[in-house]
A and B are shown apart, each in its own frame.
Chain A
Amino acid sequence: AQSVTQLGSHVSVSEGALVLLRCNYSSSVPPYLFWYVQYPNQGLQLLLKYTTGATLVKGINGFEAEFKKSETSFHLTKPSAHMSDAAEYFCAVTTRRSALIFGKGTTLSVSS
């Protein structure tokens, strides 16, 4: 069985500051890992995903995440936050033939 833990339900940063959203997973088999973002009144949008290959994954809007097997982590980062990054972010895990398992989400606030 898989599970996801997102550390921190709310993260606040200043515009221009580093964004770090933490995600730890549990999986008995090699995982596929995802980050999704939900802006107000919109659906879930895929930011990036890791399936196999390079462990540093680049996504849309300047976000990236690094798969660290030894730490069972897949933290999401962005060097410089923009006001438009304010949203809720979800980490998710799955394997070859199973449904997505989501974390509880982290709301990112960006102040000017």
Chain B
Amino acid sequence: EAGVTQFPSHSVIEKGQTVTLRCDPISGHDNLYWYRRVMGKEIKFLLHFVKESKQDESGMPNNRFLAERTGGTYSTLKVQPAELEDSGVYFCASSQVGPTEYYYGYTFGSGTRLTVV
């Protein structure tokens, strides 16, 4: 089966520009998560979709970040306008819904490395 696909793999943009990251989860995985790792720090949760609904967006840093999941399939994460501190690696993960959150485990994508200059 295909894994979790993220693109682009790298993006370099100028401060103030807009960037959209995309994640294609494994087919049939209703859970979709976004995480971010800022250089030198831990990987932090951003938000969680169940199908097209936002289950938990407590980790979103501010209103410059907008996540969507069209029709419960792929998801996009838009940063507008981008700031220097948004640089980092953005990971997406997906999982099947099970009796507990991690019953079936997560599958992570390779991440998008975002550099804001």
Which A residues form the contact surface with B (CB < 8 A)?
Answer: 4, 32, 34, 36, 41-46, 49, 51, 90, 92, 94, 96-105
Closest CB in chain A relative to B22 CB, distance in Å: 15
Chain B residues with CB under 8 Å of A32's CB are 102
Inter-chain contact B101/A97, CB cutoff 8 Å? yes
Q: Label chain B's interface by main secondary structure.
A: loop
Q: How far is the CA of A46 from the CA of B102 in the complex (A)?
A: 12
Whether B111 is near chain A, meaning CB under 8 Å from some CB there, is yes
- Using C-beta atoms within 8 Å of the partner chain, give the interface range for chain B: 20 to 34
Q: Assuming A99-B59, A105-B42, is B110 touching A41 (CB within 8 A)?
A: yes
Q: How far is the CA of A102 from the CA of B41 in the complex (A)?
A: 10
Chain B residues with CB under 8 Å of A103's CB are 42
Inter-chain contact A43/B105, CB cutoff 8 Å? no
